Amino acid sequence: MKDIYTISEFAEIVGVTVQTLRNWDKSGKLKPAQLTEGGNRLYSYKQVLQFKGKAGDTSNKAAIYYIANKNNENDTKELINRMVKHLDIKGKEYEIYKEKEGDTSELKNLIKEVGVGAYDEIIVNDENLGLSVKELKVIKSIINALQCELILL
């Protein structure tokens, strides 16, 4: 995922023509995030999410993040069920981010989406993260600063 997209990249992602985007800019329906010195339109990742309906009103969206652990597969399934029950009780929509041990690509995607307001709550299994208490506090502070609540299980 990129942070900035050219007009042709953005048009392809959202499924409209470049001319449609130009028309929307002129009419005020969708302005580009920025213009280059040469006047080229550039669109942001946040606009991609907004256009695809993943951003906006985040009052009822959550993310579940966990690291798959082959040694404790049954424990992991039980944990996910607890997380889902927690969100069902609250009536929240949710997406699940599953990470393989040693990989952080899903975590990076999740943080990027939190940064553009896609979620107001993240539930994390902190057992497998391998972070110190101090590191978790820093992460929680950052997530909270982005108007999102971090719940550690």
- Which domain CATH number covers 17? 1.10.1660.10
Within-domain flag for 81? yes
Within-domain flag for 56? no
67: three-class secondary structure by DSSP: strand
Same domain, 95 and 47: no
Same domain, 40 and 72: no
Segments forming the whole domain that contains residue 14: 4-51
pLDDT of residue 39: 94
How many whole angstroms from its chain centre is CA 134? 24
Within-domain flag for 39? yes
Same domain, 140 and 73: yes
Give how many domains the chain has, as a whole number: 2
Using CA atoms, how far residue 14 sits from 49, 52, 98, in Å, is 10, 7, 26
Task: Give the up-direction half-sphere exposure of residue 95: CA atoms within 13 A in the CB hemisphere.
Answer: 13
Residues of the chain with pLDDT under 70: 1, 52-59, 126-128
pLDDT of residue 37: 95
Which strand ranges, in their side-by-side order, compose the sheet holding 34-35? 4-6, 41-44, 34-35
pLDDT of residue 55: 45
Contact 30, 44 (CB under 8 A): no
Within-domain flag for 142? yes
